[in-house]
């Protein structure tokens, strides 16, 4: 799977606009690791880092 980077980036920007803290966004992605796998969680963190 793949190709979700632009969509995830949009969700991160929306979270920031709604007042979610950067730490909360990172924490959410870290908590997803056991469910989606570490490689996908790290990819999500890279996308989020570019938006944060």
Q: What is the DSSP letter of 1?
A: -
pLDDT in tens, 23-42: 999 999 999 999 999 999 99
What is the per-residue pLDDT for 3? 76
Instruction: Show me where the domains of the chain are located.
Output: 20-52
Given a contact cutoff of 8 angstroms between Cβ atoms, the answer to whether 20 and 52 are in contact is: no
**pLDDT-based confidence at 19, cuts 50/70/90?**
very high
State the chain's mean pLDDT as an integer.
Answer: 91
Rounded to whole angstroms, the Cα distance separating 52 from 35 reads 23
Rounded to whole angstroms, the Cα distance separating 11 from 47 reads 10
């Amino acid at each position: 799977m793949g190709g979700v980077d632009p969509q995830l980036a949009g969700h991160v920007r929306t979270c920031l606009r709604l007042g979610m803290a950067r730490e909360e966004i990172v924490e959410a992605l870290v908590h997803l690791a056991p469910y989606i796998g570490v490689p996908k969680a790290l990819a999500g963190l890279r996308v989020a880092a570019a938006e944060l």
